[in-house]
Amino acid sequence: MRAIVVEEWMDPADLVVGEIPEPATKPGTVKIDVRAAGCNFFDILLVQGRYQVKPPFPFVPGGELAGVVREVGEGVSGIAAGDRVLASGTTGAFAEVAVAPAAAVHVLPDAMSFEAGAALPIIYPTSYGGLVYRADLREGETLLVHAAAGGVGAAAVQIGRALGARVIATAGGHEKCAIALREGAHAAIDYRAEDFVDRVLDLTDGRGADVIYDSVGGDTTQRSLKCIAWNGRLVVIGFAGGDIPEIKANRILLKNIAVTGLHWSAHAEREPERVVDCFQALFRLYARGQIEPILYDRYALEDVPKALEALATRKTHGKLIVEPGR
Among 227, 249, 265, where does a domain finish? 265
Number of domains within the chain:
2
> How far apart are alpha carbons 86 and 103 in whole angstroms?
11
C-beta of residue 235 within 8 angstroms of C-beta of residue 213: yes
pLDDT for the residue numbered 288:
95
Q: Do the bridges between strand 228-236 and strand 209-214 make them parallel or antiparallel, or are there none, so unpaired?
A: parallel
Name the nearest CA neighbour of 213 among 136, 131, 276, 280.
131
> How far apart are alpha carbons 221 and 246 in whole angstroms?
9
CATH number, residue 304: 3.90.180.10
pTM of the complete model? 0.92
115 alpha-carbon distance from chain centroid: 14
For the purposes of burial, counting CB atoms within 10 Å of the CB of 290, is it exposed (0-12), middle (13-18) or buried (19 or more)? middle
pLDDT for the residue numbered 48:
96
Same domain, 96 and 215: no
CATH number, residue 163: 3.40.50.720
For residue 178, the surrounding DSSP H or E stretch is helix 174-182
The reply to whether 218 falls in a domain is yes
For the purposes of burial, counting CB atoms within 10 Å of the CB of 239, is it exposed (0-12), middle (13-18) or buried (19 or more)? middle
Same domain, 104 and 132: no
The reply to whether 277 falls in a domain is no
pLDDT for the residue numbered 159:
98
pLDDT for the residue numbered 122:
93
In order along its 326 residues, the chain shows pLDDT tens digits of 999 999 999 999 999 999 999 999 999 999 999 999 999 988 999 999 998 889 999 999 999 999 999 999 999 999 999 999 999 998 999 999 999 999 999 999 999 999 999 999 999 999 999 999 999 999 999 999 999 998 899 999 999 999 999 999 999 999 999 999 999 999 999 999 999 999 999 999 999 999 999 999 999 999 999 999 999 999 999 888 878 999 999 999 999 999 999 998 888 889 999 999 999 999 999 999 999 999 999 999 999 999 999 988 877 777 999 999 88
Which CA distances in Å does 222 have to 57, 97, 211? 38, 43, 15
> How far apart are alpha carbons 268 and 103 in whole angstroms?
8
For residue 192, the enclosing domain spans 124-265
